[in-house]
Structure 1
Amino acid sequence: MVETAATSLRPRRSLHALPTPAILFVLTGLLLIGASPAYQHDDGTFGDAMEAAMHRMHRDMQVPSSGSVDRDFAAMMIPHHRAAVEMAELQLRYGADQRLRRLAQGIIVEQKQEIAVMEEVLAALPSGPLQGRESNAGGGTDLK
Structure 2
Amino acid sequence: MPVQYVADRPDYAGEQPFLSENDAAMNKMMADMTIKPTGDVDRDFVAMMVPHHQGAIDMAKAVLRYGHNEQLRRLAQEIVVTQQQEIAAMRLAVGEELPPSVAAPTQPGTAPAPQPDTIPAMQSLDAMSSHTMHMQ
Shorter-normalised TM range: 0.5 to 0.7
- Is 1:51 paired with 2:27? no
TM-score between both structures, scaled by the size of structure 2:
0.59
Q: Give the Cα–Cα distance (whole angstroms) in 2 for the partners of residues 38 and 118 of structure 1.
A: 38
Higher helix share: 2
1:38 is matched with 14
Q: Among all aligned residue pairs of Structure 1 and Structure 2, give the percentage whose two residues are the same amino acid.
A: 46
Question: Aligned residues, how many?
Answer: 89
Aligned partner of 1:60 among 4, 28, 32: 32
| Distance in 2 separating the partners of 1:38 and 1:61 | 30
- Hey, what does 1:113 align to over in structure 2? 85
Q: C-alpha displacement at 1:121, in angstroms?
A: 1.7
Aligned to 2:56: 84
**Runs of 5+ unmatched residues, structure 2:** 1-5, 97-136
Aligned-pair distance for 1:66? 1.3
TM-score (norm 1): 0.56
**After the TM superposition, which segments of 4 or more aligned residues of structure 1 sit over 6 Å from their partners?**
none
1:38–1:94 Cα contact (<8 Å) kept? no
* Larger-Rg structure: 1
Aligned-residue CA RMSD (Å): 1.9
**Where does the alignment leave 5 or more consecutive residues of structure 1 unmatched?**
1-29, 125-144
